[in-house]
Each structure stands twice: as structure tokens, then as C-alpha cells.
């Protein structure tokens, strides 16, 4: 181990002798080593040029850390949410067969993994680890509400709780905002709902929503053809067009789930149904 020599004043030397005699440290060397380690631990971490390590307002009112988190959501897979006449569809793009997924696309588990409660589900775009945290909090809130009241939790209550949690990550210096956007759909006592939640902690209810790498193209297609009175079949066809955008894509490149007002239960859309929707969606 390298040897380090230091020079201290006589007064400091007497003080260190006293501390050692009282048994607080075994030796003056041990005391100095502990002091140096403590000092180094409190030093600010050097951040490469072009990066920010604090969540502060800029002079023009922007919070760059939140903007970086929003950028993370645009690098994830494309996700779409759509409210139709009798329910909600949530859908997510999947890597094609033989294609290695990016890190943000690694979450390819069954739809049950997106289920928060029987009547409620959500789909993410962005950092998978951050989604797992949010999903865990949502499941805990839903289970707690059922245990206390015997009723399913209102969809907006979950959206509001997650938005508040995400906002809390934008107000502290030593943590970063969560780089994940969510689309949440469900059916409760007040009807059918679709919410979007972004890393800033902003949430709102809507009829059509999209996030991810191709969210602009998806949003454009949704806006052009969406109607509030769409049937499930029409809504699924529009969802397929918005996510796949090309007739040459395969139905395996998309996964979808729906919650309808009759059953109030999240269920995966079968692959055969997606295949039929794909054929109809791009029919000239």
C-alpha cells in the first residue's frame, strides 16, 4: 500500500494524541486515514462536460434533467392507447423475429406483467427498470385499496398517485427523474378511462395517446382516423396501423390488450385477432 506522509501543527498533534488515548481510534494514522476518506466522500462528483448532475431551474425556466428523462421515453418502443366505444386498447411494438432488441425494449413478458388489477393495466415506453418501480407501486396501491374497501381502485387514483411519485423524483438534487412514460387504461365505476403520465409528473385523461420512438407518426395516424364511436374491430385496426405503419410488418411485432365495459377485465388480444386486423388495416 502506498505510504502518505503529512505535517500537522503541535496543537493538532496533541489533539490527536488525546483522541487516541480515549480509545476513539487505535492510532493517529487510523484517525488521519478515516478523516481523509470522509473528506473525499463529501467531494462533489465530477460530471463530464455537457451533462447536468442537479435538478435545478435554468434562467429561462427549464429543468434539463426532466427534459433528459423525456428524451429517454422517445427512445423506447412505440406504445399506443385508444379509447373506443366500449373499452380501451393498450398496445406495444415488439422487435421483429431474429432482431436483437435494444435495452429499452427488453421487457417482452406476457400482458399479465402489465396488469395492475383485474380492471386496470398500463404499458410503458422508456427505461425498463423505472417501469418496474412504478408498476410495483401501482400494484401495491391497488391491492391496498381492495383490502381496505373491498372495491377496485379508481383508475384516476392510480394515475394521480404515480404522477405524484414521478414528480417527487424531479424535486430532489441527489436522484434523477424517472425515464419512463406510461399509458394506463381501465374501467371502473365511473366508466372507461385512458391516462398518460410523463416523467415530469404530469398526467391527463385522453382518448388517444402515444409515446416512444415513432410516437409522432403514430399520433398523426391516430388523429386522422379516430372516432369516439369506433367498435373494437375498428379501434384495433387503427392501433395496428399506428404502431406497425407498414403492410409488410408481421402481427408478431405487436402485442395488445383490451379492457371492455362489459367484463371490466384486462385480457390479451389473441394473435389471430391481430392478424385479421393487420389484413384489414392495410387493405387498399
pLDDT at residue number 70: 92
Domain count for the chain, please give it: 2
Percent of the chain with pLDDT over 90: 59
Question: Same domain for 17 and 105?
Answer: no
Check pLDDT > 50 for residue 241: yes
Q: Choose the weakest-confidence range: 59-73, 86-100, 183-197, 223-237.
A: 86-100
32 and 170, same domain (yes or no)? no
User: What pLDDT was estimated at residue 29?
Assistant: 82
Q: Are residues 19 and 91 in the same domain?
A: no
pLDDT at 12: 82
184: its cell numbers: 394506463
Range of the domain at 28: 10-41
Q: At what angle do helices 232-244 and 215-225 cross, to 10 degrees?
A: 150
Say yes or no: 30 and 117 in one domain. Answer: no
Q: Which stretches of 131-262 are assigned E, i.e. beta strand?
A: 180-188, 191-197, 203-205, 208-211, 254-260
Spatial strand order in the sheet of 180-188: 115-117, 120-126, 180-188, 191-197, 203-205
Residue 213 lies in a domain: yes
128-149 helix and 155-168 helix, angle to the nearest 10 degrees: 130
Q: How many CB atoms lie within 10 A of CB 169?
A: 21
Q: Is the CB of residue 92 less than 8 Å from the CB of residue 160?
A: no
Relative orientation angle of helices 232-244 and 271-281, to the nearest 10 degrees: 80
pLDDT at 2: 64
Which of 54-58, 88-92, 183-187 is predicted least confidently?
Answer: 54-58
Percent of the chain with pLDDT over 70: 86
The H-or-E segment that residue 126 falls in is strand 120-126
Residue pair 280/237 in contact by the 8 Å Cβ criterion: yes
pLDDT for 55 equals: 74
pLDDT for residue 109 = 44
User: Is 46's pLDDT higher than 70?
Assistant: no
Verify that 152 and 30 share a domain, yes or no.
no
| 167 pLDDT higher than 90 | yes
DSSP, res 97: T
pLDDT value for 41: 62
| pLDDT for the residue numbered 107 | 43
In the prediction, which pLDDT does 98 show? Answer: 53
E strands, 156-238, in order: 180-188, 191-197, 203-205, 208-211
Q: What is the pLDDT of residue 16?
A: 83
What CATH number is attached to the domain comprising 126? 3.60.20.10
Amino acid at each position: 500500500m502506498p505510504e502518505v506522509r503529512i505535517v500537522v501543527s503541535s496543537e493538532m498533534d496533541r489533539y490527536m494524541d488525546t483522541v487516541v488515548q480515549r480509545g476513539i481510534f487505535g492510532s493517529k494514522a487510523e484517525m488521519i486515514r478515516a478523516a481523509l476518506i470522509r473528506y473525499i466522500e463529501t467531494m462533489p462528483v465530477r460530471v463530464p462536460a455537457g451533462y447536468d448532475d442537479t435538478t435545478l431551474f435554468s434562467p429561462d425556466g427549464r429543468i434539463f434533467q426532466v427534459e433528459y428523462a423525456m428524451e429517454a421515453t422517445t427512445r423506447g418502443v412505440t406504445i399506443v392507447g385508444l379509447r373506443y366505444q366500449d373499452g380501451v386498447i393498450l398496445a406495444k411494438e415488439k422487435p421483429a423475429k431474429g432482431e436483437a432488441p435494444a435495452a429499452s425494449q427488453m421487457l417482452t413478458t406476457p400482458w399479465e406483467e402489465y396488469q395492475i388489477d383485474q380492471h386496470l393495466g398500463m404499458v410503458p415506453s422508456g427505461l425498463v427498470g423505472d417501469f418496474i418501480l412504478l408498476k410495483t407501486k401501482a400494484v401495491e396501491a391497488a391491492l391496498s385499496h381492495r383490502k381496505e374497501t373491498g372495491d377496485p381502485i379508481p383508475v384516476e387514483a392510480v394515475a394521480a398517485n404515480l404522477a405524484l411519485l414521478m414528480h417527487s423524483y424531479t424535486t430532489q438534487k441527489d436522484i434523477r427523474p424517472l425515464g419512463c412514460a406510461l399509458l394506463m387504461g381501465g374501467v371502473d365505476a365511473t366508466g372507461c378511462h385512458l391516462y398518460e403520465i410523463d416523467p415530469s409528473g404530469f398526467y391527463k385523461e385522453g382518448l388517444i395517446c402515444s409515446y416512444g420512438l415513432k410516437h409522432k407518426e403514430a399520433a398523426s395516424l391516430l388523429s386522422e382516423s379516430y372516432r369516439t364511436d369506433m367498435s373494437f374491430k375498428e379501434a384495433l385496426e387503427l392501433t395496428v396501423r399506428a404502431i406497425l405503419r407498414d403492410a409488410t410488418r408481421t402481427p408478431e411485432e405487436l402485442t395488445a390488450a383490451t379492457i371492455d365495459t362489459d367484463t371490466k377485465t384486462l385480457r390479451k388480444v389473441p394473435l389471430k385477432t391481430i392478424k385479421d386486423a393487420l389484413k384489414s388495416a392495410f387493405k387498399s
